[in-house]
Copies of this chain bind each other. A is one copy, B any other.
Amino acid sequence: MIAEPGLAEETASRLRNDIIGGALPPGFKLSETRLAADLGVSRNTLREVFRLLTREGLLRHEPNRGVFVAVPSMATIVDIYRVRRLIEVPALAHAWPRHDAVGQMRAAVEKARGARDAQDWRVVGSANMEFHAAIVALTDSARLQAFFAQIIAELRLAFGLLDSPERLHEPYIDRNGEILSLLTQGQQARAAEMLAAYLDESERVVLAAFARLG
């Protein structure tokens, strides 16, 4: 077996993708022995992975009963959007229009547009998240960026429960473009305002979709 640095991390990435991608549905129980065999790692290593992903909010650990894929609730959504508003809006409002991260924002917008043309809604979703991660990168805070990455992972898990990813992401692609435009023109205040309205609307849509699921 190859002994590369961070087999646990690598396995965590793999499992993270399986969870966010929907291969492992929310509420699903992850058996240690079975999953360890499937992933080709030992039980001890898998437990380290479990701890990582539990800390990230993707798994739920019930003592002496096992680990389960987290089941996002409406409270989860509300909390996540609260955090997003609190972090993203000021980040944009105080941004320096020539910050490096603006390039990441532009790249994300272009990626999303390309994927929309190709009708690849999964990539659209990724690009959308990358756009928001880039907004947080405007703060130059490593800790904030790490935290936000977790928030994004949780949000994507919640999105996985919803159908019609098109309706979920398509309306925001061009709005991201407009926000980017405003920022590059030095109109941070208007950009932040637009983002705030955007987040409010997005939260409403997601909550409504959730409510339909019961």
Question: Within 8 Å of chain B (Cβ to Cβ): is A151?
Answer: yes
Whether the Cβ atoms of A139 and B82 lie closer than 8 Å is: yes
Q: A51-B51, A52-B51 are in contact. Are A86 and B143 (CB under 8 A)?
A: no
Partner of A143 from B5, B79, B143, B144 at Cβ < 8 Å: B79
Q: Which B residues are CB-close (under 8 A) to A139?
A: 82, 86
Please tell me if A205 contacts chain B, counting CB pairs below 8 Å. no
A214 within 8 A of B: no
Q: Which residues of chain B come closer than 8 Å to A44, judged between CB atoms?
A: 44
Bound-state CA distance A143–B8 (Å) is 24
Q: Taking the complex as formed, is A87 at the interface, i.e. its CB lies under 8 A from any CB of chain B? A: yes
Residues of A contacting B: mostly: helix
Is residue A48 within 8 Å, beta carbon to beta carbon, of the partner chain? yes
Residue A164 CB within 8 A of the other chain: no
Chain B contacts of A8 at CB under 8 A?
A: 51
A128 and B132 CA atoms in complex are apart in Å by 33
**164-189 of chain A: CB within 8 A of chain B:** none
Chain B residues contacting A64 (CB-CB under 8 Å) are 5
Smallest beta-carbon distance A174→chain B, Å: 28
Pick from B47, B63, B144, B151: contact of A86, CB under 8 Å: B144
- Closest chain B residue to A55 by CB distance? B55
Shortest A76–chain B CB gap in Å is: 9
Tell me the nearest residue of chain B to A91, going by C-beta.
Answer: B86
Question: Is A211 in contact with chain B by the CB < 8 A criterion?
Answer: no
**What string of 1s and 0s marks CB contacts (under 8 Å) between A105-139 and chain B?**
00000000000000000000000000000000001
User: In the docked arrangement, what's the CA distance between A151 and B44, Å?
Assistant: 29
Docked complex: A74-91 residues within 8 A CB-CB of B: 79-80, 82-83, 86-87, 90-91
Q: How far is the CB of A94 from chain B (nearest CB, A)?
A: 9
Q: Is the CB of B90 within 8 A of A86?
A: yes
